[in-house]
Structure 1
Amino acid sequence: MDLVLSTEAVPDREKLDYWRDAIGRALVPMAVVPRGGRPLGGRITGGRLGHLRVCSVEADAQRISRTAAHIDSPSEAFVAVHIQVAGTATLLQDGRHAAVGAGELVVYDTARPYTLDFPEPFASRVVHLPRRSLGVPDEHIRGITATPVSATEGLGAILTPFLATLVGSAHSYPPAVAGRLAVSVVDLFGTLVAERSRFGCADSAREHLVLRIRDHIDRHLEDQELAPESVAAAHHISVRYLHRLFEEEGITVARLIQRRRLQECARELARGGSTAPAVAAVGQRWGFVNPAHFSRVFRGAYGHSPREWRRLRTAGVLRDEESGGTPPAAVRRPNATEGDRTRAA
């Protein structure tokens, strides 16, 4: 952990203000109300696990609340996984309240108001998952907030001890290992949401994430480094999970990248004219750095070399629908896996 905040050396009259600031730094800005007649004491250790924020909290009885005023302040939205290590807590959010004891887990969304009430001294561990990295629709997040998750059955039996251990040892992992562990946490959390939610959550969450990935691919087609590895990293998921997402799509990620690049090449070549760019320049613009490779894969998809295809299209031999739609050959080979672990171009 690279952040340690403690009230131990703070004068009693300043403890509450110090603790409120500590909570805001380690977690998110919140209001703090002590419970009991003595000055509030506590200790927070926090840090990072890959792209996740983690912290351990030990403190006296208190009530902390995140209100609309706090949410108006500019800060990144997180979904928090809270593991109660000692003592009890009650979470209120989305019109529900959940009472949890030691070893239990609850989820809350920092983008909406919530309250955590600790009636006695407590210890907890918290993992903040950036909302943008989850690929889970808002309604499915709302379906799991303020709902106790048992540590003795289902995904809770796996996730609770796993997260508790990770938070306590986050500082000991090298960056590469921490990054992979963070991806695993996101995957497990998505599975937990699917398990706990109703009305086909798993299918909807998968479709939502696949749409995000397809949009990412379309926006980065010109990037020569675009590949399954970079796509997975951009969405904070593993390459293995990425391939699993596309098993139902009828095409691998590498093949999808190649097909979309070929479509853009075909559209650009179809324009022809005296100012049209050279065939090699078109291929390079859309990620095909090797002209011979570009010519080979284009011929495999469209039945003609890029140069022949441009000449036939300009002469009106090819129909408009053949000028940049889905390459017929690419459709006939949806299960090809060649290149999935190498660059798609």
Structure 2
Amino acid sequence: MSPESSTPEPGRQLSDTLYTTDSVPPDQRLTYWRAALSQTFAAMDIAVPDEICSGTIRTSRLGHLQVATVQGDSLRARRTPQLIARSKDQHLVVKLLVKGVARVEQDAREVHLHPGEIVFCDMARPLRMEFPHPFQTKSLVLPQWLLGLGESDLQRLTATPVRPDTTLGSLLSPFLTQLVDTAATYPSATGEVLDRHVVDLLTVLVGERLHQEVGDTPSGTRVLLPRIQVFIDRHLADPDLTPDAIARAHQISVRYLHKLFQTEDVTVSRWIQRRRLQECRRELARREAAGRTIAAVARRWGFTSAAHFSRVFRDAYGLSPAEWRDSAARALRIPPSPSCVSEAAVA
């Protein structure tokens, strides 16, 4: 499948891509549309009311992130266990409905969306979406690991509507719209900087939403835990950042500190290590960090032993820091291929 791509204007990213059914023969449009959607988000099983469908997808990249505007006729899409097993896409999609209505099912929940509402979709688990009328969406696609969310957090986040009259919705909806509409105008270096700022903002907003939704958590915990997590992020580079130091800084006992983190299903020390690993992984993937040694990056984020860092990095991500840096460098040098997705992705 070849996308219809306009010639990039000066300063635009070369990764700006347009898929459109306009120039595709009617009897081939469904196959083309299925492949375009699968390549943009993940392998999907697509059904439309009739074989003559139409649609347009415009995508751009910002470092590790991808943004997309999709406009099309009615359709039903399924992310089945079989497709998940074949493609193993570990992406989170933040989807804003601009036009039409939608129904999304995931994690035993069903949500009906109207224009201006947002939904989070985990492409690593079964998913159903239906757009019964012509629609338009704006989406942010990012690797799951960038947000550092555990399985339980993801399950609480998916298929729950983010309304425009909520704190998260009032901030995220206009931000997502602006980001998607302007992404293609940024030079690649600017896109990489925006990448981490977008992730930082999304992490804060999602974290606040998750804490607000824990109905059985005392109000003091809902306020104190996010504050402590921000404190940890600000002091990650300090090798002396310990539960004792954190408890003293917030005038609470170490025992109470550990109790606060029980809601996260992780110990305080593990939380610190996970956040350090996430920052190291993000820095190792940045072009501007290519001249720094892996040991220097580890020290920058509070690891005192390079050997210990390499061991826990491999345990967490399944490859060494050097292997991750090499794979990320290749991904930044080589734009996404516009070639057709495999038959497994469209079956």
Q: Which amino acid aligns with 1:4?
A: L
The correspondence for 1:60, drawn from 73, 78, 87, is 73
The correspondence for 1:89, drawn from 93, 102, 109, is 102
**What's the TM-score, normalizing by structure 1?**
0.61
Asked if the contact 1:47/1:170 (under 8 Å) is kept, the reply is: yes
Displacement after TM superposition at 1:152 (Å): 2.6
1:168-204 deviations in Å (ceiling 9; x for gaps): 1111112222122221221222223222222568555
The correspondence for 1:24, drawn from 30, 38, 41, is 38
Matched, 1:233 2:283: yes
Displacement after TM superposition at 1:107 (Å): 0.3
For 1:71, the equivalent position in structure 2 comes to 84
For 1:15, the equivalent position in structure 2 comes to 29
For 2:331, the equivalent position in structure 1 comes to none
Alpha-carbon distance between aligned partners in 1 of 2:72 and 2:277, rounded to the nearest angstrom: 45
Asked if the contact 1:32/1:64 (under 8 Å) is kept, the reply is: yes
Alpha-carbon distance between aligned partners in 2 of 1:134 and 1:84, rounded to the nearest angstrom: 22
Alpha-carbon distance between aligned partners in 2 of 1:255 and 1:17, rounded to the nearest angstrom: 47
Classify the secondary structure of the residue corresponding to 2:35: helix
Runs of 4+ in structure 1 deviating by more than 4 angstroms, as ranges, are: 199-209, 213-216
Classify the secondary structure of the residue corresponding to 2:61: strand
Alpha-carbon distance between aligned partners in 2 of 1:231 and 1:31, rounded to the nearest angstrom: 33
Q: Which amino acid aligns with 2:192?
A: G
Structure scoring higher RCO (CA < 8 A, sep ≥ 6) equals 2
For 2:274, the equivalent position in structure 1 comes to 212
For 2:60, the equivalent position in structure 1 comes to 47
Asked if the contact 2:43/2:87 (under 8 Å) is kept, the reply is: no
Matched, 1:5 2:19: yes
For 2:194, the equivalent position in structure 1 comes to 181
Alpha-carbon distance between aligned partners in 2 of 1:255 and 1:13, rounded to the nearest angstrom: 55
The correspondence for 1:99, drawn from 107, 112, 116, is 112
Alpha-carbon distance between aligned partners in 1 of 2:302 and 2:20, rounded to the nearest angstrom: 52
Asked if the contact 2:19/2:36 (under 8 Å) is kept, the reply is: yes
The correspondence for 1:161, drawn from 174, 179, 188, is 174
Alpha-carbon distance between aligned partners in 2 of 1:106 and 1:215, rounded to the nearest angstrom: 28
Q: CA 1:106–1:231 in 2, change beyond 3 Å: closer, same or farther?
A: closer
Give the % identical residues. 32
Alpha-carbon distance between aligned partners in 2 of 1:20 and 1:214, rounded to the nearest angstrom: 39
Q: Which amino acid aligns with 1:134?
A: L
Asked if the contact 1:104/1:151 (under 8 Å) is kept, the reply is: yes
Classify the secondary structure of the residue corresponding to 1:120: coil
Aligned length: 236
Q: Which amino acid aligns with 1:122?
A: F
Displacement after TM superposition at 1:42 (Å): 0.5
Residues 27-38 of structure 1 aligned to structure 2 (within 5 Å): 27-35=41-49, 37=50
Higher-Rg structure is 1
**What's the TM-score, normalizing by structure 2?**
0.61
For 1:220, the equivalent position in structure 2 comes to none
1:109-135 deviations in Å (ceiling 9; x for gaps): 000010111010000011111012221
1:81-117 deviations in Å (ceiling 9; x for gaps): 0010111111100000111111110001000010111
Asked if the contact 2:18/2:56 (under 8 Å) is kept, the reply is: yes
Alpha-carbon distance between aligned partners in 2 of 1:84 and 1:161, rounded to the nearest angstrom: 12
| Structure 1 segments unaligned to the other structure (5+ residues) | 217-227, 237-252, 265-345
For 1:140, the equivalent position in structure 2 comes to 153
